[in-house]
Every structure is written in structure tokens, then in C-alpha cells.
Amino acid sequence: MSKTLIVYGTRFGATEKSSEIIARELKEKFNHEVEVVKLSSETENHDFSSFDNIIIGSSVAYFSWTKRAKKYLQNDFSGKKVFVFVSSAGLTYPALEKGEMDKYAKRKKRFLDSIVKKNLKIQPTSTAVFGGWIKTRGKPGEFDLYNWKEEDMVKWSEEIGKLTG
């Protein structure tokens, strides 16, 4: 049985929900033992030594990752399979949705690939960009932007499951 740790930083909750979907899929379809941890001052040094796979997620808002998710990338994950995803409701994912592949590639490079390359000491096994949501300051339950799709996490979870046996 594969042991998988999912750590994430979120601002509006999309990255948290994405992490929960990935965990569910890995447990149900691939029999992974999964622990999900929201990064905070108490968990930012969470021990990952007993895990085979590490999944790190961050929202991208205000043109940046969450501070703790970015810092978590800097651990030495030698001997682990590492997967990284971002929730990017406002910039990267919309370009993908519209089929604007040049724009998507530039934004993915800026908001995912370059952050991973600069901070992660090993090559990630796989990366992904998901949509998300941005909450309005108006009425509860309303969103300024919502492009989060569960099927994106399900599909990536299947890729992770195949890559981790």
C-alpha cells in the first residue's frame, strides 16, 4: 500500500477542496493510505519521512503562491515521488479553458513551473493546474469567479495512482 501525504495552502478554499477530492480518489481507486494537511504555523514542518508520495498544492492569488506551500517545496524530498498543483481561477486556468495554449503555457511557466524549479530540489513526477473560485464580498455563496471542476482532480488522481502503483 502506498502512503501519500497531501499538504496545501489555500485562500478561498478551492485548493482545500481539490486536496480532499484527490485524497478520496487515491483511497478509493488505488488503495492509498492518505493524510491531508492544511499548512499553518503548526503544520508547516509536518514530517513527511514515512510517506512514499508527497502532493503539494497552493492557490495562486494576487500573483503568488501561499507562503507556507512555497516554503514546503524547499524540503529535501529525495527518494519520494512529488506531485505539485495550483488552483488558479483568475489567470492560468481560464487560458486553458479558452484553448489559448500560448497564453496558458506562459502563465503555467510563471505561476507553477518556475516556482517549482526555483524551490523544489528534485524534478516533480507530475504537475497540474486546476481552476478555483474567488469569493465576492457581496452575498454569502456568491462568487466573483468560479471555474473549479471536480473532474480535473479525478483525472489527475488517476494519473498519480498509475504512477505510484
Delimit the domains of the chain by residue range: 3-164
pLDDT score recorded for residue 1: 85
Report the alpha-carbon distance of residue 63 to residue 2 in Å, rounded: 34
pLDDT in tens, 23-59: 999 999 999 999 999 999 998 889 999 999 999 999 9
Q: Which one-letter DSSP state was computed for residue 29?
A: H
The three grid cell numbers given for residue 156, joined into one nine-digit string: 489527475
pTM (whole model) above 0.75: yes
Rounded distance between C-alpha atoms, residue 26 and residue 96, angstroms: 25
Which set of grid coordinates corresponds to residue 143?
A: 462568487
User: What sign results for the dihedral spanned by CA atoms 106, 108, 112, 116?
Assistant: negative
Architecture field, domain 3-164: 3-Layer(aba) Sandwich (3.40)
Tens-place pLDDT, residues 127-137: 999 999 887 66
Per-residue confidence at 149, pLDDT binned at 50, 70, 90?
Answer: very high
CA 86 to chain centre: 4
Share of the chain above pLDDT 90, in %: 82
Q: Are 5 and 139 in contact (CB under 8 A)?
A: no
> Which amino acid belongs to residue 116?
V
CB atoms within 10 A of CB 48: 21
**DSSP letter string over 120-145?**
-SS--SEEEEE--EEE-SSSTT-EEE
CB contact at 8 A, 134 and 59: no
- φ and ψ at residue 132, rounded to 5 degrees: -170, -150
Q: Are 14 and 148 in contact (CB under 8 A)?
A: yes
pLDDT over threshold 70, residue 143? no
54 SS3 class: strand
